[in-house]
A and B are shown apart, each in its own frame.
Chain A
Amino acid sequence: MKKDFIHIILADDDEDDRMFFTDAFDELKIGTKVKTFNDGIYLMDYLNSNNCELPHVLFLDLNMPRKSGLECLYEIKANPKFNDIAIAIYSTSASEEDIEKTFVQGANIYIKKPSSFKVLKKVLSEVVTTNWQYHTNGLNKDNFLLRL
């Protein structure tokens, strides 16, 4: 059974967003295991620890104290150990600059946090059920930002 779980990690400093995130997955009823971290430092500490279970999909908020999502992205992409992790940027803003930077750094998808719980659930299920191995091949800047 354990094998079939999709491992998901979210790094976000906002408590409400973490709650929406876990609530959405609870209601989605997909076999997922969700872990959340309060900022980039906690996240990286966990990923670099020995007993860590590497996630299938990592959701990164960009604007976090101490270590931002972008810094985490640099570190993860610099380490071959994390090659198989699909990275979804999960941010309030969708400025051209942020999209450009994260795309160049090798993130898989950019999600603008939706303002409706219903939409949030739809977005998350879409992202989690995507076969990222396959999706990465056709990745380009136009479909990088998730539109639903």
Chain B
Amino acid sequence: MPYRLHKKLWFVKTVVYVCAFVILLVGGMTYKNIQSLSQASNLVTHTYKINVELEQVLSYLKDAETAQRGSIITNDPLYLEPYYSGRDSINNSFAELRELLKNNPTQLNNLKELNKLIDVRIACFQKSFRFSAVSDLGNPVFKENFWAGKQAMDAVRDKVKHMIALENKLLEEQQSELKENLKVTPIFLYMVLLMCLLLMYGAYAKIISNLKKLKKSNIELEMFKESANLSEIVSNYGNWVWNIDENTYIYSDNLYRLLGEEPNAFHPSIENLLKFVHPKDIKKLNKDIKKMMENENLPYTYFRIVQKNGKIRHLKSFAKKVINTDGKKQLIGTTSDVTEEVKSFRLLEEHNLTLERNNKELSAFNYVASHDLQEPLRKIQTFLSRLEEKEAENLSEPGLKYVDRIKTSATRMRLLIDDLLQFSRTNKADKVFEKSNLNLLLEGAKQDLAEAISNEKAIINANEFPIVKVIPFQIQQLFANLIGNSIKYRSLERTPEITITYSKVKASEESNIKKGKKDNYHKITFIDNGIGFDNAYAKKIFVLFNRLHNKDEYSGTGIGLSICKKIIENHKGFIIAKGKPGIGAKFTIYLPAKL
């Protein structure tokens, strides 16, 4: 946007300069035209004056002639008066004419010739006066004189006519010349002015539209600034600019607030900022600032500040160099208040420590369970076996029975401890996923249970399984627990039969695992023909130590299925149980196809 405005400004400037130049030009030309016009009018006046004077000369001469004739006819000298005054007037007119024609040599010549002709005419007059109409009409000299006078008069008249014609011709020539100039220029000037006006209008329109755009972008800028201000307040950060060339700083309002001050409470500078910095962080921050000044760059830096009210806040600063439109270097930075993050990070660290401690306690407990608890139990069992072996004959019937009872209890306690250990082992962190052949794992599980399977003559039917990335020993454990479970809770009326099926399914098509995060799952189903259970307990059976049967009937510890659930959870899968009392149970497990 600024660049575009800049370009338009250039256009407007050019238009204004061109217009000013054109107006100056038009003014100059108009001045010249007006000068020409007045010159033309002067020419007309000049010619007119010459013509009038010439006509007057002729007229005075005529008056003189009339006077002469009058005096000749009447022989009365009284008629001669205009003749005398006419002579003076002609002289005056001649002086005038000479002045008027001083720039025209041709006409001056003509004027001299006219003067001579007039002199001839006047000489004729002089001669004629000696005659009288009464006495001398018949006198040949008189007649000759009179004739000569008339001829001179005609010559004068011709001359004057010729001179006037010449003058008119000259006027015409000069005027046509001026007119030639004037004919084109007014229209041309008018057009130029019109164009100029159009250009000016264009420039004006441009300026107005630019102003509108400027106003619009100003409003947008204002809004943006406001939203930036708000976001600064909401997300607890402030902006600052370091003008590298001038070494001046601009702080945003919220930056002052982060420091616990009102906006513009102090002059923005490094020195004033450092006044807020925690004494322990000043050295480090100074080093960072020095680096910033040298490199004109500021990677993340953390420091604490102490507000006026004594509160300590944690700040984080980051800046980047930019070169603005004027080509000046600026470092634009943000400083955010990370006190809450630091606090929650500390809290997290504390929690982590607690967790670690708890984990250590748990492994300590594991050790106690595995070692210390097992030891006395083992000894009880060993002593019992010794008692049975060596002292059996010394014991009474009830005594032998009691020994047997103690043995049963001890065996059960061993079972519990072993199961509990196994359960806590499935919790251990070091689980390694490996590509495993599920068929082999099932085979392994069957081997683990070989005694029970052959004792009960259990039949196990299984599909072909694929190779899946799992924690092998856990999956084998899972298979063993599920098969062992089916054998343990077999129906006494029929041979235990376990059918294991496999299929690959899509999570979206299985109602059981709608919540599944993965798209595809391996689905393995264990179906048996055992005693089954009421579906109401379908979830409860996975809870630790939960048993559906009395321990005299069935020897479970209530841990086996909890281990199964734990294993499936480790694999991010699902396990679902369904049962029908007296008919059988169905366990479905889902393992993600891709981890």
Contacts and interface: CB of A to CB of B under 8 A. Distances in A.
Interface in A83-112: 92-93, 95
A115 B389 contact: no
B372 to A, nearest CB: 8
Interface residues of A, number: 16
B375 to A, nearest CB: 5
A17 B414 CA distance: 18
- Of B370, B374, B378, chain A has the most CB atoms within 10 Å of the CB of B378
B371 A117 contact: no
A114 B374 CA distance: 11
B382 A92 contact: no
B370 A115 contact: no
Contacts of B371: 63, 92-93
A17 B377 CA distance: 13
B291 interface: no
B551 interface: no
A75 interface: no
Contacts of A113: 378
B374 A116 contact: no
B474 to A, nearest CB: 14
Given A16-B379, A92-B375, A117 B385 contact: yes
Residue in B374, B382, B383, B385 with the greatest tally of chain A CB atoms within 10 Å: B382
A20 B371 CA distance: 18
Interface residues of B, number: 15
Chain A interface mostly = loop
Contacts of A16: 379, 382-383
Contacts of A117: 382, 385-386, 389
B381 interface: yes
B375 A118 contact: no
Contacts of B367: 93, 95
Given A14-B375, A92-B375, A116 B370 contact: no
B382 A120 contact: yes
Interface in B381-438: 381-383, 385-386, 389, 414
A114 B370 CA distance: 14
Interface in A13-63: 14, 16-17, 20, 23, 63
B378 A115 contact: yes
A95 B363 CA distance: 12
A115 B377 contact: yes
B370 A95 contact: yes
Contacts of A14: 375
A16 B370 CA distance: 19
A70 B382 CA distance: 25
Nearest to A14: B375
B381 A116 contact: yes
B38 to A, nearest CB: 124
A119 to B, nearest CB: 8
13 contacts: A16-B382, A92-B371, A92-B374, A93-B367, A95-B367, A114-B382, A115-B378, A116-B382, A116-B385, A117-B382, A117-B386, A117-B389, A118-B385
Interface of B: 367, 370-371, 374-375, 377-379, 381-383, 385-386, 389, 414
Interface of A: 14, 16-17, 20, 23, 63, 92-93, 95, 113-118, 120
In the complex, the 5 A-B pairs of residues with the closest C-beta atoms, listed nearest first: A115-B381, A115-B378, A117-B385, A93-B371, A116-B385
